[in-house]
Structure 1
Amino acid sequence: MRVMLGDTIAIGPGKIALLEAIRECGSISAAAKHLDMSYKRAWDLLNEINRSLARPAVDSEHGGAQGGGTVLTPVGEEAIRLYRAAELRAAKACEAEINGLIALLAKP
């Protein structure tokens, strides 16, 4: 599921996975490594998320003795909650169609 803002994917599975990884790992670089993506790709996705939302999804602290870090804002937490709830509801509502598509897949 993707939520579009004009031509930009404002919220989608990759961006939600990135927010969840940031919540779990505590930094953008650690989240990028966890998701096997480059730091630049993670940073670009995060910039798209923050430009699309009315308020930022993350709050970053720069460097210092502890190396800084990134945490989700309440908006970031709410974006994850809403996305996962919509995903679950859509899966339940479309169960027959999803099973039909699975039946069309090649068997390993």
Structure 2
Amino acid sequence: MNRKYRLRGRVWIEGSDGTFLGYGRVVLLERIREHGSISAAARSMEMSYRHAWKLVDSMNRQSRKILVERSTGGKGGGGARLTRAGEKAVAEFWSAYADFRSFLAERNRRVELY
């Protein structure tokens, strides 16, 4: 029987309080950028607003600079947007993610188990 093995893995950025950025958190940040609100971003991911808010709060608390700025309601309602620090965090995560995927692809070519 011929079996092919492959390495798999996940990557995330951890801080002293645990997970700071991971795949799902970064997608949430991108959805906030796209939709202009935490609630719309959460809906687009089929996630509760409460869970999305907790993730945003966790990232903002752990970051040296705020990643997501919120504006309170008014005539047009509130909203949220990524700050420059938020944009940089998203870009840095995807860069690390690409490097990690490249490492797995390269290393998978050399997996030999008997």
TM-score, normalisation: structure 1: 0.86
Q: Indicate how the Cα distance of structure 1 residues 63 and 85 shifts in structure 2: closer, same or farther if over 3 A, else same.
A: same
Structure having the higher helix fraction is 1
Q: Indicate how the Cα distance of structure 1 residues 99 and 17 shifts in structure 2: closer, same or farther if over 3 A, else same.
A: farther
Aligned-pair RMSD on alpha carbons? 1.8
Aligned to 2:78: 68
The one-letter code of the counterpart of 1:92 is: S
Unaligned stretches of 5+ residues in structure 2: 1-10
Q: Indicate how the Cα distance of structure 1 residues 71 and 96 shifts in structure 2: closer, same or farther if over 3 A, else same.
A: same
Q: Indicate how the Cα distance of structure 1 residues 68 and 3 shifts in structure 2: closer, same or farther if over 3 A, else same.
A: same
Q: Whose relative contact order is higher, 1 or 2, with alpha carbons under 8 Å and at least 6 apart? A: 2
Q: Indicate how the Cα distance of structure 1 residues 100 and 29 shifts in structure 2: closer, same or farther if over 3 A, else same.
A: farther
Between the two proteins, the alignment pairs up a number of residues equal to 101
Q: Indicate how the Cα distance of structure 1 residues 98 and 47 shifts in structure 2: closer, same or farther if over 3 A, else same.
A: farther
TM-score, normalisation: structure 2: 0.82
Unaligned stretches of 5+ residues in structure 1: 102-108
Identity within the alignment, % = 36
Greater Rg over alpha carbons, structure: 2
Moved >3 Å (runs of 4+): 96-101
